Structure 1
Amino acid sequence: MAPLVKIEKLRVTARDDYGRELVIVKDVSFTVEPGEVVALIGESGSGKTTIALSLMGYARAGSRIVGGKITFDGREVLAMSQRELASLRGRDMAYVPQSAAASFNPARPLLKQVIESSQIHRVMPVVEAEAKAVALFRELVLPNPEKVGERYPHQVSGGQLQRLLAAMALVTEPKLVIFDEPTTALDVTTQIEVLRVFKKAIKERGTTAVYVSHDLAVVAQMADRIIVLRDGTIHEVDATGRILSSPKNDYTKSLLAAAEPQVRAAAAATTQRRATPPVVEVRSVIAGYGKVDRDGIPALPVLRDINLSIKPGSTLGIIGESGCGKSTLARVVAGLLPAARGEVQLDGMPLPRAAAERTRDQLRRIQIVFQSADTALNPARPIGRILGRPLEFYHGLTGDKRRRRVTELLDMVRLPATIAERYPSEISGGQKQRVNLARALAAEPSLILCDEVTSALDTVVGAAILDLLAELQREIGVAYLFISHDLSTVKAVCDQVMILYAGQIMEHGSRQALHRRPLHPYSDLLISSVPELRQGWLDRMSERFFKEATTGVARTGREQTCSFFERCPVRIPGRCDVEPTPVRRLSKGAEIRCLRTEEELVKLTAG
């Protein structure tokens, strides 16, 4: 049987900011057989998305397909007219991008958008398309499939939007679907939910797919074959099992090594730290949005009775699903969102709740590094000026002293001094995040709030940032509050780990305690949801587990009952949903919020 897709010596160029034309895809050749799922993996800049888009005869702004041949279903794609390409895209070839939120029109109901391609290509009447879309909603395990299409994009979750995007791609029954990092921005339990329904839909239809990702653990679950890319060239091609078990190329080996996070938390001086007073404490904090009532409870509570402490030179990891309150907690500590009740202390002294009321030195001591360096850095200012601003504001440095310190800061984050003359658009994503970190370091803080600082980066670049954070901690003794939805990363970089669900602390303990058998039902769910770097892991996940991961909704509000009640497999109706949930200390040293005793949990989770 002839391959559905055949690429021969594909060459793509792009123009840089100085007008130079660079080759970014260099004579790439491969095939995709009917019914096969082929993964393109590699770090940022490897050319994987550029190649995937080229399959549709498309090149992004500033780039051009300058050579090679692409054959799809016997047709030469690069010889097609724009009209022929328009007929191909969305009909025979469908594309599922990373950001579902950016792909939908906020002003139109979801169903109308899902069936749009079927109407553009006149594949079927509206009534038939709507019925098919609803069947897809049911197949993709969307809640209330008959009604979800009446909602607007802002009325559904990120994971639901991603599945709706898949429905949009599949509604025309395309011969090829291109998945471009479709689960990268999702938390672990949502990711497993989306991966499971994607894989089921692909398998049942015999769909041919190209899956673009930097996450080898995800690719291991989805792909029959892997193509490893770096700097626009193919470094290795093989069956998924052989790539995972016996890679031949050194770069492939480095990708596999980066996918298994190494422990980076600074272990030195642990005993000394225990006797050291915390640099920051959060005490009985309640926070949220909307009007605050006379009891100090906001109309939309997000955090409920949060307590934590961070010692100098240590790292506290905060983990949980999207919407659990992780970023809200960082905003409360930074003073960007004043707590409704409770307090944040710095060196044992209460801080004003709002950043505007804090002194310059209090602002200096707590800095924040956001997830997206693209939006955090002013595109109209060179890097040197971006780094110079906090030096002048906090330390009064000007002229040569400021320039010298900028050079020192760039060296601290392992960037060359020449970067100071460049603009954010002229450097890579990993370099931008290093600049973002250098700006925080410019203040000489005691605590840096790291809010998903590696989630937008590929595995290799993310690993380099984690190594840098650990190295800086050893060198200057800075403390971190490290927020992530990636449990593997948190376990690798943090001394202490706190698990949040719907604004409540479910579990809190040392990294070592987290490595031991999880007893809290939510901790168990979260830890079990992290994809393993082996084939078949997703297929072997139990149906019972999958239902636990995807059913029920969080209980939110002012009451102190368990927010995990609706999803908990060991809940006690009439107690867990009525009584305040106590915090229990386990024999392994961690604390959990649960009505069940440790002995009960051991029995209930055995096997």
Structure 2
Amino acid sequence: MSQLIRVEDLRVVACGERGESEIVKGVSFALEKGEVLALIGESGSGKTTIALALLGYARRGCRLSGGVVQVGEHDMLALSEKELQKLRGNRVSYIAQSAAAAFNPAKRLLDQVVEGALIHGLGTRAVLEAKAIALFRDLALPNPERIGQRYPHQVSGGQLQRVMAAMALISDPLLVVLDEPTTALDVTTQIDVLRAFKRVVRERGATAVYVSHDLAVVAQMADQIVVLNGGRIFEQSATAPLLKGPAHEYTRSLLAAARPDTSIRPPCGIAEEQPLLTIKGLTAGYGNKNTHGMPAIRVLEDIDLTVRRGQAIGVIGESGSGKSTLARVVAGLLCPALGGLTFDGQPLGGCLSERTDEQFRRIQMVFQNADTALNPMHSVSTILGRPLKMYFGLKGAALHERIGELLDLVRLPRTLAERRPNELSGGQKQRVNLARALAAKPDLILCDEVTSALDTVVGAAILELLRDLRQELGVSYLFISHDISTVRALCDDIVVMYSGHKVQAGTRQAFAQPPFHPYTDLLIHSVPELRQGWLENCGTTCGELPPVGARSDEPELCTFLDRCPVRVDGLCNRSAPVRRNIDGGSEILCHHDSVELLKTQRDVINLSQGAYA
């Protein structure tokens, strides 16, 4: 085998007001035909910059300053822009992190998949459309003959990600660059997409560079791994030996961060018995209400939940399960249709207009994406100063000192106070996002997927910060996530949501081992493990499952019925499940008892472990 990809002493500089600074510092690696190489590291490590250099491209404000990037017979750094345009989307293809941002919402999917290949003259429209449909089939897209007639908004995120893969592969490229292609997906959707990517890459003999911050994901895809930090290679190895015995301390820190429920110290029982927030019989949704006051689209149904003072409750589930809607109701951003809320013993209005100023102050929300939550035109001090002025009337020296204290609290240097969000890293922006919530001195903070957009190391640091702040300030959290490992790292109790219903609730200890609700079992076994071969034997699916939110035709039946791998025909499809307590202390909404669930879930575990005994 000969080297298909060769990178030698690659250097990239960033150009700013203070001159040029080197951000990729002499990186070298090689790749044989048919191999998959992973570039991993924290945000800012240079992995995406290096991946884009394989296309002969540097982002605005950057310049490819030196080295060799050889793709087949092409020296990408020696070619003109016109020559590069002939290669991009043809001999070298790119799969971006956000498929939603990569597609034109006004054009059908099939037209966009074949467009690049038509421009490069790789075949007639009829030939390319037939090839696209074959790729849709290989990528396990539903109804491959017709899905191309849909528009981007008419398919799920996981489906759109696979359509983008078809767009990249239709030209039979020498190299495919996959840039964090599953980061924005739910854990269950991520598995389906990874399986589809891996199968197509292997079957078609494609050569690929996979960019990620997640070692567990990389372990399923890559033949070799390059570990980056600060634009330098810290370690380079075949996948198996690197996972078994990493040589560099930084690599070991990445491995630890990939296991958040073991790398973070467990909660220290500071919760009090006194309820802070109580939710009873909550039903909420969107759209016009009927004559009975019920919304056209019900998102939450009959939710009961209690958060005690100093307690952290995790709420998990896939997109569409109702997690964020629950947070919006608690925040007063969505009025419930039924049910009531009580906060610190007093009725809590469903809408902001029905709440007192003090209730408004005491419940704060930290949003998922700090990039959109922070005003890019304002400095950090202006952002933090606004709630301090509004709630406490601070000004002058007192205001300046309190801003400094808040930065200390979230472990940011006070020198960042006059910077704007675009001058901060992703982790720094999320800390400012949290500091703004803390400025109000709240009793309850609603954390909506606050680590999902961050790399594993930065995400683990944010979890550690949240844990310490809870202990120091006695604040309560309603922590929303789709990753049960993240929730187990921080929370005392866990609530599992599916299609608007609470299907399991219990202590974090109850989620350490079976039995679980079948949906909880699906989520737990969808979290990638740090070993090769896990993807093929993770035991998370039983045939083709409908998407989250797909319900039985009978609305009073179990909402998980059509996706459940342990459904009992004649029981589950005829009567509604009841809430019951199972071994371990959890309450579940299911027909099965502890013995039935435990036997099924032990069989799954034994099957998975047996493959690697």
Q: TM-score, normalised by structure 2?
A: 0.95
Q: Is the 8 A contact 1:301 1:557 kept in 2?
A: no
Q: CA deviation at 1:258?
A: 1.1
* CA distance, structure 2, for counterparts of residue 249 and residue 151 of structure 1: 48
Unaligned runs of 5+ in 1: none
Q: Encode CA deviations 1:348-392: one digit per residue, 9 max, x unaligned.
A: 222111123322111111100011101100011110010000011
Q: Encode CA deviations 1:540-585: one digit per residue, 9 max, x unaligned.
A: 235x835265678621799332110111122234543443321111
**Secondary structure of 1:4's aligned partner:** strand
Q: CA deviation at 1:402?
A: 0.9
In the alignment, which residue of structure 2 is the partner of 1:499? Answer: 496
Compare 468-477 and 255-264 and name the one that shifted more. Answer: 255-264
In the alignment, which residue of structure 2 is the partner of 1:562? Answer: 558
Q: Encode CA deviations 1:319-340: one digit per residue, 9 max, x unaligned.
A: 1111111111111110111111
In the alignment, which residue of structure 2 is the partner of 1:599? Answer: 595
* CA distance, structure 1, for counterparts of residue 249 and residue 516 of structure 2: 39
In the alignment, which residue of structure 1 is the partner of 2:466? Answer: 469
Given the superposition, is the C-alpha separation of residues 171 and 309 from structure 1 closer, same or farther in structure 2, using an over 3 Å criterion? same
* CA distance, structure 1, for counterparts of residue 389 and residue 500 of structure 2: 37
In the alignment, which residue of structure 1 is the partner of 2:189? Answer: 190
In the alignment, which residue of structure 2 is the partner of 1:47? Answer: 46
Q: Encode CA deviations 1:519-544: one digit per residue, 9 max, x unaligned.
A: 321111111111001111112235x8
Given the superposition, is the C-alpha separation of residues 74 and 555 from structure 1 closer, same or farther in structure 2, using an over 3 Å criterion? same
2:11 pairs with 1:11:
yes
Q: Is the 8 A contact 2:285 2:295 kept in 1?
A: yes
2:297 pairs with 1:314:
no
In the alignment, which residue of structure 2 is the partner of 1:114? Answer: 113
In the alignment, which residue of structure 1 is the partner of 2:150? Answer: 151
Give the letter aligned to residue 348 of structure 2: L
Q: CA deviation at 1:602?
A: 3.5
In the alignment, which residue of structure 1 is the partner of 2:141? Answer: 142
Give runs of aligned pairs for residues 267-346 of structure 1, distance below 5 A.
Answer: 267-269=267-269, 273=272, 276-346=273-343
Q: Is the 8 A contact 2:320 2:548 kept in 1?
A: no
Give the letter aligned to residue 25 of structure 1: V
* CA distance, structure 2, for counterparts of residue 141 and residue 297 of structure 1: 38
Q: CA deviation at 1:262?
A: 3.9
Q: What is the root-mean-square deviation of aligned Cα atoms in Å? A: 1.7
2:221 pairs with 1:222:
yes
Q: Is the 8 A contact 1:265 1:315 kept in 2?
A: no
Compare 106-115 and 294-303 and name the one that shifted more. Answer: 294-303
Q: Which among 347, 371, 374 is matched to residue 374 of structure 1?
A: 371
In the alignment, which residue of structure 1 is the partner of 2:608? Answer: none
* CA distance, structure 1, for counterparts of residue 128 and residue 75 of structure 2: 29
Q: Encode CA deviations 1:155-199: one digit per residue, 9 max, x unaligned.
A: 110000101110111111111100000000111100001001110
2:359 pairs with 1:365:
no
**Secondary structure of 1:336's aligned partner:** coil
Q: Is the 8 A contact 2:514 2:602 kept in 1?
A: no
Q: Is the 8 A contact 2:515 2:584 kept in 1?
A: no
Q: CA deviation at 1:297?
A: 2.3
Q: Which among 519, 522, 534 is matched to residue 516 of structure 2?
A: 519
Compare 428-437 and 550-559 and name the one that shifted more. Answer: 550-559
Q: Is the 8 A contact 1:91 1:173 kept in 2?
A: yes
Q: Is the 8 A contact 1:193 1:550 kept in 2?
A: no
Unaligned runs of 5+ in 2: 604-613
Q: CA deviation at 1:268?
A: 3.1
Give the letter aligned to residue 12 of structure 2: V
Q: CA deviation at 1:603?
A: 4.3
The aligned length equals: 602
Q: Which among 445, 450, 470 is matched to residue 448 of structure 1?
A: 445
Give the letter aligned to residue 302 of structure 2: D
In the alignment, which residue of structure 2 is the partner of 1:588? Answer: 584
Q: CA deviation at 1:596?
A: 2.4
* CA distance, structure 1, for counterparts of residue 425 and residue 162 of structure 2: 30
Q: Is the 8 A contact 2:158 2:190 kept in 1?
A: yes
Q: Is the 8 A contact 1:525 1:549 kept in 2?
A: no
Q: Is the 8 A contact 2:318 2:548 kept in 1?
A: no
Identity of aligned residues (%): 57
**Secondary structure of 1:600's aligned partner:** helix
**Secondary structure of 2:99's aligned partner:** coil
In the alignment, which residue of structure 2 is the partner of 1:84? Answer: 83
* CA distance, structure 2, for counterparts of residue 193 and residue 55 of structure 1: 27
Given the superposition, is the C-alpha separation of residues 602 and 72 from structure 1 closer, same or farther in structure 2, using an over 3 Å criterion? closer
* CA distance, structure 2, for counterparts of residue 606 and residue 378 of structure 1: 49
Q: Is the 8 A contact 1:265 1:494 kept in 2?
A: no
In the alignment, which residue of structure 1 is the partner of 2:609? Answer: none
* CA distance, structure 1, for counterparts of residue 580 and residue 310 of structure 2: 27
Q: Is the 8 A contact 1:266 1:473 kept in 2?
A: no
Q: TM-score, normalised by structure 1?
A: 0.96
**Secondary structure of 1:107's aligned partner:** coil
